[in-house]
Amino acid sequence: MRGHETLLVRVEQATDDFGDPIPPAPTPYEVAGCVVYPRTTSESDFRSDTVVEGLIALLPVKADTLHSTDQVSYRGRWYDIDGAIGQWTYLSGQNAGAQIQLKRVTG
């Protein structure tokens, strides 16, 4: 899997027992060769429709290098990792990459 997108991954700041940040602050790192697709889901509860817009990203890294608390920047916008991180492997058993679902960070 080799895409043309480069994503930034921002690791959550470590904190002590009181919730205070432990220096140094982590530096976002680039992951080149990513593939990004749009995803949209909707639900109806008979009163209104809920629509969630996000992305599916395939990154050429092992799934255990990413954490659900990380954030990902795609084309200048930050997204949260939504749900479990999936590992893709080729039939040979070689690592093909990690699949993550992203939802837009607001606020």
Express each pLDDT in 35-91 by its tens digit.
999 886 656 666 666 555 689 999 999 999 999 999 999 999 999 999 999 999 999
Helices (H) then strands (E): counts for the chain? 0, 7
- Say whether pTM exceeds 0.85: no
**Fold (topology level) of 5-104:** Thrombin, subunit H (2.40.10)
Tokens (6 digits) for 98:
């990690």
